[in-house]
Amino acid sequence: MAVPALNRPAAVEATTSAAAVGRSAAKDGASYESALLVLAGLGIAALAAASMFVGVSDVSLPALLAGEQEAWDIFWISRVPRTLAVVLAGTAVAVAGLIMQLMARNRFVEPSTVGTVESATLGTLVVTVAAPAAPLMAKMGVASLFALAGTGLFLAVLRRLPARNTLLVPLVGIMLGGVIASVATFFAYRFDLLQTLNNWMIGDFSGVLRGRYELLWIVAALTLIGYIAADRFTVAGMGADFTTNLGMNYKAIMRLGLTLVALISAVVVTTVGAVPFLGLVVPNIVSLVFGDNLRRAVPWTAVFGAGFVLACDIAGRTIRYPYEVPVGMVMSVVGAVIFLFLLLRTRRKGAGRG
């Protein structure tokens, strides 16, 4: 039914007013979320500051204010590099997990459950055996190539699965990672490198010193690239047909995501070791709270990832003080509990739909 001529100005005015109210509400919501993000960043800064004063060596604020040289040396050589390494690794691995989940179109995958981390470890082992004197950059390059191949193999297997069951995909990834890890363990045993292999498989920041963590700044740049390309990854997560219909190159986006995930995994493994479950639980928590828009989710994923690793690192240094539990072990326990909760939650939702 056509709107009477006399009522059209009122209708137009009402529509304009509703649109203005909607824009105002969206602006207020964005401002509120930005304020929350700033508060979360301040919380991470406070947690990082607390992390610098946790440890066996006497590094306290009174000692620093008193100008004790030994305290300042330990602070700059050990505590600051360690805290920066924790923040950089936590941020990058969490974002890599988010990208991996969009690439696989499954919420239960991450680099440590699809063979990426195991492949990077195998690559590091190969270059260690073949060229023991190779510089760290060379080891990182070989580990990146192996991680790239391992992730590509998982995606190739995934495309050939008859049905993409939510729980089948991570199980296939875990099986693939187990096969690669068994190959690495065999060669490490043959060349008497089992202890070295274990150090790579369990994340540990106790050996981080000034001059031994700077490669992690590379993952900061890679995380920034992931944020810039966030919209493309969001679209690619909806499938090849949808991406192509929008005029985007689906394969190019997938190659970019594959490269980012492989490089981040390789740099973190060669520098501090594997950080398990981080790329799995943090993106899922962020998705539950903030939705699936990657550009919106990346900053929160970075903040939650850094905070999660900082909290686990502080816990690892205080649980058996003055001894230290590797952060990889703490995160394995906490991450496994959260992973089981997510699995059970998915099953309950499936049963409810049934």
Q: What is the pLDDT of residues 232-286, one digit of tens each?
A: 888 887 878 888 888 888 888 888 888 898 899 888 888 888 888 888 889 988 8
Q: Residue 183 corresponds to which amino acid? A: V
Number of other residues whose CB lies within 10 A of the CB of residue 51: 22
pLDDT at 24: 52
DSSP 85-109: HHHHHHHHHHHHHHHHHHHHT-TT-
Burial of 106 (C-beta count, 10 Å sphere; 0-12/13-18/19+) = buried
C-alpha dist (Å) from residue 15 to 12, 20, 353: 5, 9, 38
Euclidean distance between the first and final Cα of the chain, in Å? 42
Among 22-31, 76-85, 133-142, 185-194, the range scoring the smallest mean pLDDT is: 22-31
pLDDT at 3: 46
pLDDT at 12: 46
Higher pLDDT, 352 or 79: 79
Burial of 89 (C-beta count, 10 Å sphere; 0-12/13-18/19+) = buried
**Among 102, 103, 80, 100, which Cα is nearest to 92's?**
100
pLDDT at 5: 47
pLDDT at 183: 92
pLDDT at 2: 47
Q: What is the pLDDT of residues 39-84, one digit of tens each?
A: 988 999 999 998 888 878 778 788 888 888 888 888 898 899 999 9
Percent of the chain with pLDDT over 70: 87
Mean pLDDT of the chain: 82
> Is the peptide bond prior to 322 cis by the omega test (within 30 degrees of 0)?
yes
Q: Residue 115 corresponds to which amino acid? A: G
pLDDT at 351: 54
Confidence of residue 163 (pLDDT cuts 50, 70, 90): low
- How far is the C-alpha of 199 from the C-alpha of 136, rounded, in Å? 16
| Residues constituting the chain | 354
Say whether pLDDT at 162 is over 80. Answer: no
pLDDT at 353: 55
pTM across the whole model: 0.83
pLDDT at 18: 45
Q: 128 is written with which tokens?
A: 């260690």
Q: What is the pLDDT of residues 296-348, one digit of tens each?
A: 888 899 999 999 999 999 999 888 888 888 888 898 888 888 888 877 776 66
pLDDT at 8: 47
